[in-house]
Amino acid sequence: GTCLKKTDWCHADNLQTKLAIISPGLLEDRGVVCSAEKCTSSLSVKPNVFSGAGVFDIGFVVTTSFGASASASLRVRFNRAPRYGSFGVTPLTGVALLTPFTLTADAWQDQELPDLKLMYEFAVRAAGCASQACQTTLAARSLTPVVAVLLPPGNQTLVLSVSDPDGATNVTLFAKTVFVRPGTSAALATFIDSSLAALNGTASALLSSVAIAAQSVNSLTSLSDADASKMRSQLLDYLQTAWFDGERD
């Protein structure tokens, strides 16, 4: 790079050590520290500057005050996030807590080792929200690329995170909004009384299901105040159980 654009690794804003730019891609350390035995120079670059890079070659040239010089080079390989895959969701419409939605991650590959096993995590966020802060995990990170899940009511955006064993992650949003109609109070009561109880001991799955059930309680205007209060109380109990199980894990 020219070192003049912020997208260039050697731009001044990307460096954590003070070096002088003397030509495109060439930096000079004018503050070399020397002792009786050796001289020391360092190059430090801010995090994420090399995002997306596969291989980067760095060369070093050392010149003495007498004009003698020596050089060396270092090849750095960066771990890149998985790619090439697709993300599918079926069906595109359904009923909260009743319709099973199938989420499929297909043909994802590690860029350095194509045969490497990858980890998949599925989540949901309200359509229009661009932050992970409003995201609910549907299936925690695992080797399973296909899951069947229940969704909360409303217009929903499905999220897929694909990671390699070193943590490099590709986050993909499903291209279409999924519409989920509110369920019935009977279905919600059954889900809280039966389905959540079956998840005791699996903290992550229980937390996700409690979050989905809570959104369903809030969406059902037909619920009486007494029934809504009872359901929220049950969900709080399950939430405490999930936190306790998570602490033990």
Task: Name which of 31-35, 187-191, 241-245 the model is least confident about.
Answer: 241-245
The model's pTM is 0.73
pLDDT of residue 231: 93
pLDDT of residue 53: 66
User: In which band, very low, low, confident or very high, does the pLDDT at 52 lie, cut at 50, 70 and 90?
Assistant: low
pLDDT of residue 247: 53
Rounded distance, CA 132 to CA 193, Å?
A: 29
For the four alpha carbons of 164, 166, 167 and 171, in that order, the dihedral sign comes to negative
pLDDT of residue 23: 83
Helix (H) or strand (E) holding 130: none
Rounded distance, CA 5 to CA 137, Å?
A: 38
Radius of gyration of the chain (CA): 26
Q: What percent of the chain has pLDDT over 90?
A: 46
DSSP string across 32-44? -EE-SS-EE----
Averaged pLDDT, 120-132: 91
Max mean pLDDT among 19-33, 91-105, 190-204 falls in 91-105
pLDDT of residue 144: 96
pLDDT averaged over every residue in the chain: 89
Asked whether the predicted pLDDT for residue 141 surpasses 70, the reply is yes
The CA-atom distances, in angstroms, between 49 and each of 9, 12, 70, 82, 227 are: 6, 12, 28, 18, 53
pLDDT of residue 178: 97
Cβ pair 63, 42 in contact under 8 A: no
Asked whether the predicted pLDDT for residue 148 surpasses 90, the reply is yes
User: In which band, very low, low, confident or very high, does the pLDDT at 246 lie, cut at 50, 70 and 90?
Assistant: low
pLDDT of residue 248: 54
pLDDT, tens digit (0-9, with 9 covering 90-100), for 80-109: 899 999 999 999 999 999 999 999 999 999
pLDDT of residue 102: 98
Asked whether the predicted pLDDT for residue 155 surpasses 80, the reply is yes
Asked whether the predicted pLDDT for residue 119 surpasses 90, the reply is yes
pLDDT of residue 245: 67
pLDDT of residue 198: 86
pLDDT of residue 242: 82
Averaged pLDDT, 124-137: 88
Rounded distance, CA 23 to CA 133, Å?
A: 43
Averaged pLDDT, 229-237: 93
pLDDT of residue 75: 85
